[in-house]
Copies of this chain bind each other. A is one copy, B any other.
Amino acid sequence: MAEKGDGTRARILDEALRLASRDGLEGLTIGGLAAALDLSKSGLFAHFGSKEALQIAVLEHAADRLRELCAPAKGLPAGPERLRFLFQVSLDWIDDPQRPGGCPITGACFEFDDRDGPVRQALIRLQRNGQERAVEGFDAFAHPSRDRHQLAFEFRAITLGYHHASRVLREPRAREWARNALESLIEKAMRPA
């Protein structure tokens, strides 16, 4: 029974993720989601309780999916190869045609940057987890004189630059630019500061 419930929830959240990617997290409504899934609004409302709870569930669902995609990294030696793998997952995630409007977490960052409340708090928590993963990734191979938080900042900046170049400008060279920038960053990380 739990499985059936989980399956339904996952299906609901997959669709919510698609809608949030297209319309933004604020554009996602229980009514719109109910219509897209051919479910009753009252049933969906009973499931999530509020629009904010639905928004948070969508963000966490996106983070879970991304974590699954990153999991094979653990099989790689800690070092630049693992970082390259995580980077590749991020670029593929940004371009995934299942999410027509790009990463809903990134979109939500620019929607909720100035709106305090539980959705913003959930977003910050997920973003800090991502930052910690990047810090750990550099920890494995960066020169001891290098500041890992500086490197993690630059790592995220490249993925944001890629989101912009690929999805906004639709630049054919976006991936090449992003990969070159990552290789520079890896080289810099290994040099003494």
A interface residues, Cβ below 8 angstroms from B: 21-22, 24, 26-27, 100-102, 106-107, 109-114, 123-124, 127-128, 131, 149-150, 153-154, 156-158, 160-165, 167-169, 173-174, 177-178, 180-181, 184, 188
Partner of A168 from B109, B153, B161, B178 at Cβ < 8 Å: B109
Chain B residues with CB below 8 A from A174, complex form:
153
Query: Nearest-CB distance from A13 to chain B (Å)?
Result: 20
Is there contact, CB below 8 Å, between B153 and A123?
Answer: no
**Beta-carbon nearest neighbor of A109 in chain B:** B168
Taking the closest CB of chain B, its distance from the CB of A23, in whole angstroms, is: 9
With A and B bound together, what is the CA distance between A106 and B111 in angstroms? Answer: 11
Query: How far is A163 from B161 in the complex, measured between Cα atoms in Å?
Result: 11
Contact call A181/B154, Cβ cutoff below 8 A: yes
**How far does the alpha carbon of A173 sit from the alpha carbon of B152 in the complex, in Å?**
12
Could you tell me if B127 and A114 are in contact, using CB atoms closer than 8 angstroms? no
Interchain CB contact under 8 A, A22 and B114: yes
A162→B156 CA distance, assembly (Å): 10
Given A113-B163, A153-B181, A157-B160, 14 additional A-B pairs, CB 8 A: A22-B114, A100-B114, A107-B111, A110-B111, A110-B168, A127-B168, A131-B169, A150-B180, A153-B178, A154-B161, A156-B164, A157-B164, A160-B161, A160-B164
CA distance A21 to B114 in the complex (A): 9
Q: In the complex, which of the residues B22, B102, B128, B184 contacts A169, with contact meaning CB atoms closer than 8 Å?
A: B128
Q: Known: A156-B164, A164-B156. Contact between A113 and B127, CB under 8 A?
A: no
| Shortest beta-carbon distance from A101 to chain B in Å | 4
Closest B residue to A131 by CB, please name it.
Answer: B169
Bound Cα distance A24, B114 (Å): 11
